[in-house]
Amino acid sequence: EAAVTQSPRNKVAVTGGKVTLSCNQTNNHNNMYWYRQDTGHGLRLIHYSYGAGSTEKGDIPDGYKASRPSQENFSLILELATPSQTSVYFCASGVSGGAGQNTLYFGAGTRLSVL
Amino acid sequence: GQQVQQSPASLVLQEGENAELQCNFSSTATQLQWFYQSPGGSLVSLLSNPSGTKHTGRLTSTTVTKERRSSLHISSSQTTDSGTYLCAPSSNYNVLYFGSGTKLTVEP
C-alpha cells in the first residue's frame, strides 16, 4: 500500500514567520505534488516535482518555494507566511508517464493557520 | 492548466437512490480520474477513465473525450458514500487538476 506521510499535521504560525511543511513517501514514485484546499476552490496545485533535484511551478506558486532533496522527500516552504496562506495542504505522490494510470496517493493533509 | 467545473455542487439522496455527478473541463485530457474525499478529509482515488465507460463496484464512469466531459454514476447509494467527489483531468500524464467537487449526502 502506497504511503505518504505529512508533517506536521497541524501548524499555527505568525505572520512573517517561516513555515516548512514536510512530505515523505515510501513508494519510490518519481512525481510528488503540493496542493492546497480552500472552501469553494477544490485542490489547487502549488508546486510539483519529477524527481530528486527538480521542482516545477503549479498554478499558484507565489509565496511558496519547494525543495526535493531526495526521491522520498518533498518540502513546501513559506518564507514569509501571510494570513492568506491559511489553508489545508496536501502532498501527493504518483508514477510518471504512461497512459491513464498516474494515480495519486495523498497524505492526510496539514492544517495551517497563519495569525 | 485545466479549468474544471463540477455539478451539482451538492446533492442529497435517500439511501438506495442513484447519483449522477458531472465534470466538464476546458482542454483535451489524456487522463481523467475521480477521487473521493471523506468527511474527515482523506483523499483516495476511485477510478481512472480517460475515455469510454468504466465500471468498478457500484461506480460507473463515462468520459467523452471530444466533448471534454465525464460523469460518475453511483448506484444504490449508501450512507457511507457521503463525502465529496472530485474530478481530476490531466492534459499530460503527470499533473492532475481538480474541480471543486460535488458534496454528496446520503440520508438513511
Q: Tell me what pLDDT residue B93 has.
A: 65
Q: Which residues of A20-37 are buried (b: 16+ CB within 10 A; e: fewer)?
A: ebbbbbebebbbbbbbbb
Flag whether A2 is in a domain: no
For residue B45, the domain's CATH number is: 2.60.40.10
Residue of B nearest to A92 (CA): B43
Q: Which of B96, B102, B103 would best serve as a mutation to test chain A binding (most A beta carbons within 10 A)?
A: B96
Flag whether A42 is in a domain: yes
Print the domain residue range for A50. Answer: 10-114
Q: Tell me what pLDDT residue B94 has.
A: 77
Flag whether A27 is in a domain: yes
Print the domain residue range for B100. Answer: 4-107
Flag whether A63 is in a domain: yes
> Using beta carbons and an 8 Å cutoff, which residues of B are at the interface with A?
1, 4, 30-31, 33, 35, 41-45, 48, 50, 86, 88, 90, 93-101
Q: Which residues of B touch A97 (CB under 8 A)?
A: 93-94
Q: Looking at the predicted structure, is the pLDDT value of residue B63 above 90? A: yes
In whole angstroms, how far apart are CA A12 and each of A50, A55, A115, B27, B69?
30, 26, 7, 38, 40
Domains identified in chain A, total number: 1
Domains identified in chain B, total number: 1
Flag whether A65 is in a domain: yes
* Residue A111 identity (one-letter amino acid): R
Q: What is the pLDDT of residues B72-94, one digit of tens each?
A: 999 999 999 999 999 999 887 67
For residue A99, the domain's CATH number is: 2.60.40.10
Q: What is the pLDDT of residues A19-60, one digit of tens each?
A: 999 999 998 999 999 999 998 778 999 999 999 999 999 999
Q: What is the pLDDT of residues A62-107, one digit of tens each?
A: 999 999 999 999 999 999 999 999 999 999 998 765 555 568 899 9
With 0-12 CB in 10 A as exposed, 13-18 as middle and 19+ as buried, what is B25?
A: buried
Evaluate whether B4 touches B66 at the Cβ level (below 8 Å).
no
Owner of C-alpha cell 485545466? B2
Handedness of CA B20, B23, B29, B31 (dihedral sign): negative
Flag whether A25 is in a domain: yes
Residue of A nearest to B36 (CA): A106
From B27, B26, B29, B92, select the one nearest B61 (Cα to Cα). Answer: B29
Q: Tell me what pLDDT residue A96 has.
A: 64
* A59 close to B (CB below 8 A): yes
Look over chain B and give the mean of its residue pLDDT values, rounded to a whole number. Answer: 94
